[in-house]
Structures are given as C-alpha cells and as structure tokens.
Amino acid sequence: MTRFQNRTAIVTGAAQGIGAATATLLAAQGARVAVVDLQLDRAEVVARQIRETGGTAGAFACDVTDEAAVTEMTGRVADEFGGLDILVNNAGITRDNLLFKMSRGDWDSVLATNLTSVYLCCQAAQKYMVEARYGKIVSLSSRSALGARGQANYAAAKAGVQGLTATLAIELGPFNINVNAVAPGYISTAMTAATARRVGSTVEDHQDRAAQATPLRRVGQPGEVASVIAFLASDEASYVSGQTLYVNGGAR
C-alpha cells in the first residue's frame, strides 16, 4: 500500500505496544520509519521485523526527554531517510500514586516523558516540516486527561498534550502542518499490565473490570490506536488539525 509513499516518519517509544504497532503500520503503508526508543537493541527488533516484511525502517536510540539527543536523532533521521514528514509522539510512562504519596521525582519524570518530550520533539521536527511546507504531528494523550485517581502527574501531562496540540495547530497550520492528538482508553500493553500488577490484580481481572466499564465491553488493542494515528498522519485527514480524538471504546 502506498498511503505513505516517499514519507519519512519518526515514532517515539516504538520498541513495544502502541508505538511498535504504529511504526509497523506506517511502514506497511509505505513510510520510511525511524523506530525510536531508549534502548537501541529493542528498537532494532521492531525495525528488523519491518525490514523482513519488505518495509523500510531504522532503529534509533534516543531519550526523548534529552534535548540534545532529540535534536541529534531528528537530524540523523532527516539525513538518512531524506526529510521528515510525520512525527508520532508516543513515548510515555506512568508513575501512579495518590497525591499525598506522589514524590516530586515521579511528578517530574512523568511530566518530562509525557509532555516536555512532545515540546522537544515538535520543536526539532518543525524545522524540517516548515521548510518543506508539509508535516503531520500526532501525539499520544490519554482518556486520563479528563481525570484519573492516582494519576495526577499523568493526567496533567496528558491534558497538557491536548493544549500543546491545539496551540501548535494554530502556529504551524500556516505551514501546511497538521497537529493532532489521540487519547486512548484502556489498551492492552505492557503499560496497563504493569498497572494491573501494581494494584495487586492479574492482567486478566484488570482487563475484565476495564471491559465492563467500557460500552464496547472490551479493552482496546495497540493496532486499534495505530490505525487512528495512521489516519491522522495521512492526507485523508488533511483538513483535521488541533483535535484530540478519543479512542476508548465509547467511554464518556
């Protein structure tokens, strides 16, 4: 499929979960994909799988909270793959706790990884996109942006992503750059499995409870978020900008 023919995409946090599914889907639809994650060997596993199925992908180690590393990685991707058309800000972490027990370190690291990283990556990427008068930025927010017990840090960061998205759409729109966010509900990944373990539940029980609270009566899969990200990164969504699209099985 040639939806993303001659397009270069960066997907952060792409060694697993939603990021890996997104990198794989964009590549299957023709994009040259930079699989970016903290550990090169884990990013390389996904990049190799993409290449083995006929796609174009490279692995890049980058801590997206590190400004110098983000600038260097973005430059290398643009040099090696020729420009930069699509940025998917997917890297994220949780460090849940009730406010009275939340450490300053856990507040800072969640804000840095889920929000400051989006600012850094967008700032680095816009240079190439503005020059080319073309760009698609999709960032991961969360249903938790609307409020979630034990997630003051994460909810604040993910709500921040929505404000940043709305603002960058205004600033970058004149350069033909679309900026949007997706806000998933409960998706079956290592992140939600870790949450289950933290609250003393099995993954299965945790998912069952989440499914019962969801109109579609099931949790989501990474591919179901990846397909929405791909839509927003495509020219089919050319007049959509500044939006946050909830991908949460119908929860209000």
Report, as residue numbers or ranges, the catalytic residues: 154
Q: What DSSP line would sit under 12-63, residue for residue? A: ETTTSHHHHHHHHHHHHTT-EEEEEESSHHHHHHHHHHHHHTT-EEEEEE--
Q: Which is nearer to ligand NDP, 38 or 146 (CB)?
A: 38
Q: Which is nearer to ligand NDP, 134 or 154 (CB)?
A: 154
Reading the block at residue 149, the tokens are 């017990």
Please state the closest distance from residue 239 (CB atom) to ligand NDP, in A: 25
Please state the closest distance from residue 191 (CB atom) to ligand NDP, in A: 3
Distance CA 238, CA 135 (A): 10
In this structure, the number of other CB atoms found within 10 A of the CB of residue 237 comes to 18
Give every strand in the sheet of 56-61, ordered side by side.
56-61, 32-37, 8-12, 86-89, 135-140, 177-184, 244-247
Q: Which is nearer to ligand NDP, 188 or 241 (CB)?
A: 188
* Residues engaged in binding ligand NDP (CB under 6 A): 12-13, 15-19, 37-39, 63-65, 90-93, 113-114, 140, 142, 184, 186-187, 189-192
Please state the closest distance from residue 1 (CB atom) to ligand NDP, in A: 23
Q: Which is nearer to ligand NDP, 89 or 134 (CB)?
A: 89
Please state the closest distance from residue 185 (CB atom) to ligand NDP, in A: 6
